[in-house]
């Protein structure tokens, strides 16, 4: 996709070549595919893990081992391509919150409200800790940033979801 934006060509091809060199031909559990474009030039190079649908951005060659062992920093996770944008943000904010508290487990969204134009709440818990629920509040905010490598100095306004807070809710049995 280098004809459209240099980020893709400059960073994507190098990552693809390094991945090809790093994966032994005998390892049939991993397939590396090259794609012309996955979206978001400013996040190049991007990686899409299938079949999970997890999308990562700014994955440089130095992160190949972390990529192969599914240990990429959470800051590089762009969301799951099977979810709408607001649910991608919910999942990412929940994972950050749990990681900061050294909690791990299967996330269950117990009740979600479809977003209004500017805000929404989602409730979640860990399958392994059903006695605790959390409430996540988000709102939309305008953000300006570069759209591509060609336009680093030009801000393109866009809306994004921003976390307000996460509140713990204990359930008494």
State the Cα torsion 12-17-21-22 to the nearest 10°.
0
Q: Looking up tokens 């305008």, which residue turns up?
A: 142
122-164: pLDDT as tens digits: 889 898 988 889 999 989 898 877 766 666 667 778 888 889 9
Q: Given 25, 50, 79, which residue is the final one in a domain?
A: 79
For residue 1, tell me if it sits in a domain.
no
Instruction: Work out the average pLDDT over 56-62.
Output: 91
Identify whether residues 146 and 98 lie together within a single domain.
yes
Spatial CA neighbour of 93 closest among 141, 169, 171, 161: 161
For residue 34, tell me if it sits in a domain.
yes
Identify whether residues 72 and 90 lie together within a single domain.
no
Query: Domain containing 58: what range?
Result: 6-79
For residue 52, tell me if it sits in a domain.
yes
Q: How many domains does the chain have?
A: 2
* Global pTM value: 0.78
* Res 87: pLDDT: 84
For residue 136, tell me if it sits in a domain.
yes
Helix count and strand count (H, E) for the chain:
4, 7
Identify whether residues 118 and 40 lie together within a single domain.
no
Sheet of 156-170: strands edge to edge?
107-112, 119-126, 129-145, 156-170
d(CA 69, CA 84): 26
């Amino acid at each position: 996709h280098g004809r459209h934006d240099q980020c893709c060509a400059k960073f994507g091809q190098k990552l693809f070549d390094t991945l090809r060199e790093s994966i032994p031909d005998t390892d049939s559990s991993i397939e590396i595919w090259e794609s012309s474009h996955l979206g978001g030039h400013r996040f190049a190079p991007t990686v899409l893990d299938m079949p999970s649908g997890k999308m990562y951005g700014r994955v440089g060659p130095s992160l190949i081992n972390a990529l192969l062992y599914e240990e990429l920093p959470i800051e590089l996770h762009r969301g799951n391509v099977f979810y709408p944008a607001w649910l991608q943000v919910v999942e990412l904010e929940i994972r950050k919150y749990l990681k900061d508290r050294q909690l791990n487990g299967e996330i269950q969204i117990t009740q979600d409200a479809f977003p209004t134009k500017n805000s929404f709440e989602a409730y979640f818990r860990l399958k392994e800790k059903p006695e605790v629920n959390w409430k996540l509040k988000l709102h939309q905010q305008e953000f300006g940033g570069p759209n591509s490598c060609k336009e680093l100095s030009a801000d393109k306004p866009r809306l994004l979801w921003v976390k307000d807070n996460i509140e713990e809710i204990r359930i008494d049995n």
